[in-house]
Amino acid sequence: MRILRYVRIDPDTVRLDGVPVPVTGRGLELLSELYRNRVKDYPKFFKMDLLCKLGFIAAELLVGDEPDRFVPREDRAVLLVSRTGPLCDDRNYQKTIAEDAYFPSPALFVYTLANIVTGEIAIRNKYEGDTTAYGFPSFSAGMLVSVVKVAFTDRVTTSALCGWVEAPDSDHFEAILMLVDDTEGDGMEFNPENILKIKLNQR
Amino acid sequence: MNRKRVIATGCNIVSPLGFTAEENFQAALSGRSGVTTHTGTFGIPEPFGASLFDRSVISGPDGGSHCLFESILLLSIRDAVLRAGIDPASPRVAFVISSIKGNVEVMDADEAAVPVSVTAARIAAFFNNPNPPLVVSNACISGLTALIHAGRMLQGGRYDHIVVAGAEVQSRFIVSGFLSLKAVSPLPCKPFDAGRSGLNLGEAAATMVISAVDTCPDDAWELVDGTTRNDANHISGPSRTGEGSYKALRYVLASCRPEELAFVNVHGTSTLYNDEMESIALHRAGLSEVPVNALKGIFGHTMGAAGILESVVSMQAADAGVVLATKGFGQTGVSCPVNVCAGNRPACGRAFIKLLSGFGGCNAAMLFRKGGAQ
DSSP structure class, residue B139: G
Chain B residues in contact with A74 (beta carbon < 8 A): 229, 247
Q: CATH: 3.30.70.1170, 1.20.120.1080, 3.40.47.10, 2.40.50.180. Which one for A2-199?
A: 3.40.47.10
Residues 21-40 of B with CB under 8 A from A: none
Q: What is the CATH number of domain B5-213?
A: 3.40.47.10
Provide the residue ranges of all domains of chain A, joining segments of one domain with +: 2-199
Region A189-200 average pLDDT:
97
Q: What is the pLDDT of residue B320?
A: 97
Residues of A in contact with B134 (CB under 8 A): 134-136, 143, 147
Q: Is B95 on the interface with A (CB under 8 A)?
A: no
Kindly determine whether residue B230 and residue A119, on different chains, have CB atoms separated by under 8 Å. yes
> Is A92's Cβ below 8 Å from some Cβ in B?
no
One-letter identity of residue B154: L
- Residue A203, pLDDT score: 78
Is B117 close to A94, i.e. CB distance below 8 A? no
Question: ∠ at Cα A158 (A154, A164), nearest 5°?
Answer: 85
Residue of A85, A99, A130 lying closest to B115 (CB–CB):
A85
> Residue A23: its pLDDT value, please?
97
Q: Is the pLDDT of residue A131 over 80?
A: yes
Nearest neighbour of A115 by CB, restricted to B104, B139, B232: B139
Alpha carbon separation from A84 to A24, B151, B342 (Å, rounded): 27, 25, 42
> Is any Cβ of chain A less than 8 angstroms from the Cβ of B166?
no
Q: What is the pLDDT of residue B2?
A: 66
Distance from CA of B20 to the nearest CA of A (A): 28
Whether B3 has its CB under 8 Å from any CB of chain A: the answer is no
Could you list the pLDDT tens digit for every one of the 374 residues in chain B? 568 999 999 999 999 999 999 999 999 999 999 999 999 999 999 999 999 999 887 776 666 678 999 999 999 999 999 999 999 999 999 999 999 999 999 999 999 999 999 999 999 999 999 999 999 999 999 999 999 999 999 999 999 999 999 999 999 999 999 999 999 999 999 999 999 999 999 999 999 999 999 999 999 999 999 999 999 999 998 899 999 999 999 999 999 999 999 999 999 999 999 999 999 999 999 999 999 999 999 999 999 999 999 999 999 999 999 999 999 999 999 999 999 999 999 999 999 999 999 999 999 999 999 986 55
Q: Do β-strands B291-293 and B134-136 pair in parallel, antiparallel, or remain unpaired?
A: unpaired
Query: Which amino acid is it at A184?
Result: E
Q: What is the mean pLDDT of residues A9-20?
A: 97
A21 close to B (CB below 8 A): no
Domain covering B223-370, topology: Peroxisomal Thiolase; Chain A, domain 1 (3.40.47)
Question: Do the Cβ atoms of A130 and B361 come within 8 Å?
Answer: no
Record: contact B359-A143, CB cut-off 8 A = no
Domain residue extents for chain B:
5-213, 223-370
Cα–Cα distance for residue pair B197/B191, rounded to 1 Å: 9
Q: What is the pLDDT of residue B63?
A: 60
Q: A131 vs B361: CB contact, 8 Å cut-off?
A: yes
Share of chain A above pLDDT 70, in %: 100
Q: If you count them, how many residues does chain A have?
A: 203
What secondary structure, in 3-state letters, does chain A show? CEEEEEEEECCCCEEECCEECCCCCCCHHHHHHHHHHHCCCCHHHHHCCHHHHHHHHHHHHHHCCCCCCCCCECCEEEEEEECCCCHHHHHHHHHCEECCEECCCHHHHHCCCCCHHHHHHHHHHCECCCEEEEECCCCCHHHHHHHHHHHCCCCCCCEEEEEEEEEEECCEEEEEEEEEECCCCCCEECCHHHHHHHHCCCC
In chain B, the residue whose alpha carbon lies closest to the alpha carbon of A142 is B132
Q: Kindly report, residue by residue over A163-192, the tens digit of the pLDDT.
A: 999 999 999 999 999 999 999 988 899 999
Size of interface A-B (CB pairs under 8 A): 175
pLDDT band at A202 (very low <50, low <70, confident <90, very high): confident
User: Cβ contacts of residue B47 below 8 Å, gap of 6+?
Assistant: B37, B38, B39, B186
How many Å lie between the alpha carbon of B109 and the closest alpha carbon of chain A? Answer: 12
Work out the angle between the directed axes of helices B172-180 and A87-95 (0-180°, nearest 10).
80
